[in-house]
Structure 1
Amino acid sequence: MGILWTLIIGGIAGWLGSLIFKGGSLGLIGNIIVGIIGGFIGYWLLGTFFGTAIVGQILTGAVGAIVLLAIINLLTGRKV
């Protein structure tokens, strides 16, 4: 059940991050990957600033996804 929640929260966080960053969507799998990696980045940057509930985890993942999308944008020189 933990893996399923990770995928769901990662997908929502990646999708939310791509909307806020105003980049093109990377598709379902891409959003899940960006959201999961973004969750690690967000937790590293913010800790439990938004809390440990589902909404806090999604917000932390979204912030991390925005940071990740900004880094990808800088490295590739194109809008993701």
Structure 2
Amino acid sequence: MGIIAWIILGLIAGWLAHKIMHGAGAGLVMNLVLGIVGAFVGGFLVRILGGAGVTGFNIWSLIVATLGAVVVLWLFNKLSSRRSASL
């Protein structure tokens, strides 16, 4: 899968994760960026667990990328709230 397809899939996954997490995070643009990272993380995690990971521009890949984006967004929220609590 080409880099442009990864970015598009990540943007869609970031938007879906933003909706799933009820707008949590640092705003829509940052959530979209985290979605791109989440697409890579989701594909990596599913491959470690023995699954197919991100296989192309299809529904399975969108699900995997969205799950990765939710995980990355959740981690981002936990780390950023911990930082602001210590200030």
Name segments (4+ residues, structure 1) moved above 6 Å.
Answer: none
The count of corresponding residues between Structure 1 and Structure 2 is 77
Task: Pick from 72, 75, 78 the counterpart of residue 79 of structure 2.
Answer: 75
What's 2:55 paired with?
A: 52
What's 2:37 paired with?
A: 37
Task: Pick from 55, 61, 71 the counterpart of residue 65 of structure 2.
Answer: 61
- TM-score when scaled to structure 2? 0.69
Which segments of 5 or more consecutive residues in structure 2 lack a partner in the other structure?
Answer: 83-87
Which segments of 5 or more consecutive residues in structure 1 lack a partner in the other structure?
Answer: none
- Give the Cα–Cα distance (whole angstroms) in 2 for the partners of residues 5 and 32 of structure 1: 14
What's 2:8 paired with?
A: 8
Matched position secondary structure for 2:19: helix
Matched position secondary structure for 1:77: helix
Q: Highest Rg: 1 or 2?
A: 2
CA shift for structure 1 position 68: 0.7
- Give the Cα–Cα distance (whole angstroms) in 2 for the partners of residues 34 and 14 of structure 1: 6
- TM-score when scaled to structure 1? 0.74
RMSD: 2.5
